[in-house]
Structure 1
Amino acid sequence: MGQAPRSSLRPLALRAATDQRRHRRVAVALLGRYMLSDRKEYPCQTVDMSPGGVRLTCAVGGEVGERTVIYLEHVGRIEGTIARLLPDGFAVAISATAHKRDKIASQLTWLANRAVLGLPEDRRHERLVPRQTVTTLRLETGREIAARIVDISLSGAAIACAVELPLDASLTLGRTPGRVVRQFKGGFAVEFRLPLSPDRFDENLVL
């Protein structure tokens, strides 16, 4: 039998190249949480990701082949199985439909372009103003300070407060521990010690 015509091979080659690009790993640091088979949630951060897999830095490991559910900022909920254990976390093979993989590919392309072009973060889906904005700050000394939440993201909050706190000051915002990372006129930004769970991130959130 002779070789197949080049024209019949080209679509396969194009599809293979497309699949390879689609599954190219992107170095991206996204905060999130993951759940193992024990049904407990733990904080994590991505190291790199493709539509077919993600590498996580986390404190609590699992077993190879164990199913996990992960919630990531920008990406949302993904499922998969632990494919490889690493010194500081593990790698997950993502289980998803072709449509979901295409969606992840688009999100990763946007994140990669944003980093390369130095674009400001699009916070329309990252930050929200909770219904309950009045809160109490508790300092390490035990002092309590009344404050107001300007907005919240998975990783922190902007706080309006009459008391000026120094950078890196530790505090508890409601029941959520954090530290002061930036100051602005009339308040400061707080970074949470652990990211919030995306599945409860809505206007009814109470810290």
Structure 2
Amino acid sequence: MTLNSAVDDNLHVGAVTGRYVLGNRSSLRGVNVFACRLRSVSPTSFVAAAPVVGKVGDVITASFGPFGTLHGRITRHVVDGFVVDVDADTSKRNELSARIDAFRDRIWTGVADKRAEKRFMPGDPRSVVILADGSVQPCLIVDYSASGAAVSAELDPAIGQTLTVGQVAGTVVRLFDVGFAVHFDNPQRGDDIEDLLAAPDEWSEAVAVLKARHIDTDEGELNDLTDYGY
């Protein structure tokens, strides 16, 4: 694929998780670095589901394993995240175009990440975290299993803290740089868990509070997501 032919040829993806920061100030774990889910990508823009959507015009630095680190600005919001125009010169855009081609080839040849088979990514990653005092925070479900979930939110909980993700109660068992791992109080049935974790209506209400806020963080290289240990 050449750059000219790829400008409007968005590759739609659903199982690529990354991380991002907003703005220009040093990031703090659990506050300014968040997980996100890539929805589509082209050499000129990308769409991502995200727990903190920022404002139109905010600077974004995002990292997705197959596509590298992408810099740009939010141009508009979508129902579960934002659209970013990629800020790159022709060389960088051609490099991204080549990465998109390689990823598309991997999809068609059936090459998959073995680790992804051990956990599941919800079709709709939007949800909310409900704290013991009844306060609600929008969050993104990074992935889940019958026993727990990895969650990204503008929240820095303590290990051992109890909370509810969607409708599932659990305990925070691990912190990592884009969020935290929750171990469910009771194992969940595979057929039911995604519906129990999802809370798109509550998410929409909760994210409206954060949408107008500006979060200044450092632009910089971001690493891939790792094992969450829930």
- Aligned partner of 1:187 in structure 2 is none
Shift of 1:32: 0.8
Residue of 27, 31, 34 corresponding to 2:20: 34
Structure 1 runs (4+) greater than 6 angstroms displaced: none
Which amino acid is the alignment partner of residue 31 of structure 1?
T
Matched, 1:100 2:92: yes
Cα contact 1:33–1:44 (8 A) shared by 2: yes
1:52 aligns with 2:75: no
On the 8 A contact 1:168/1:179 being kept in 2, the answer is: no
Unaligned runs of 5+ in 2: 26-31, 116-141, 149-170, 185-220
Query: Of the two, which has the highest radius of gyration?
Result: 1
Letter in structure 2 aligned against 1:27? H
Match of 2:52, SS state, is coil
The CA deviation string for residues 137-166 of structure 1, in whole angstroms up to 9 with x for no partner, is xxxxxxxxxxxxxxxxxx78xxxxxxxxxx
Which amino acid is the alignment partner of residue 25 of structure 1? N
- Indicate if the aligned counterparts of 1:28 and 1:111 stay in contact, CA closer than 8 A: no
- Looking at structure 2, the residues matched to 200 and 55 of structure 1 have their Cα atoms a distance apart, in angstroms, of 19
Deviation at 1:83, TM superposition (A): 0.8
Secondary structure of the structure 1 residue equivalent to 2:222:
helix
TM-score after normalising by structure 2 = 0.48
Please say if 1:169 is aligned against 2:161: no
Counterpart position of 2:193: none
| Partners of 2:57 and 2:73 within 8 A in 1 | yes
CA distance in 1, matches of 2:78, 2:66: 24
Instruction: Give, in angstroms, the shift of residue 121 of structure 1.
Output: 3.9
Check the 8 A contact 1:68/1:82 in 2, yes or no. Answer: yes
Q: Among all aligned residue pairs of Structure 1 and Structure 2, give the percentage whose two residues are the same amino acid.
A: 20
Cα deviation code 1:60-99 (max 9, x no counterpart): 1111111111111222211001111112111000001211
Please report the TM-score for the alignment, with normalisation by the length of structure 1.
0.53
Residues 173 and 114 of structure 1, relative CA distance in 2, 3 Å threshold: farther
Is the contact made by 2:19 and 2:224 (CA closer than 8 Å) also made in structure 1? no
Number of equivalenced pairs: 134
Give the partner amino acid of 2:181. P
Q: Are 2:110 and 1:118 aligned?
A: yes
* RMSD of equivalent CA atoms: 3.5
Check whether the contact 1:37–1:66 (CA below 8 A) recurs between aligned residues.
yes
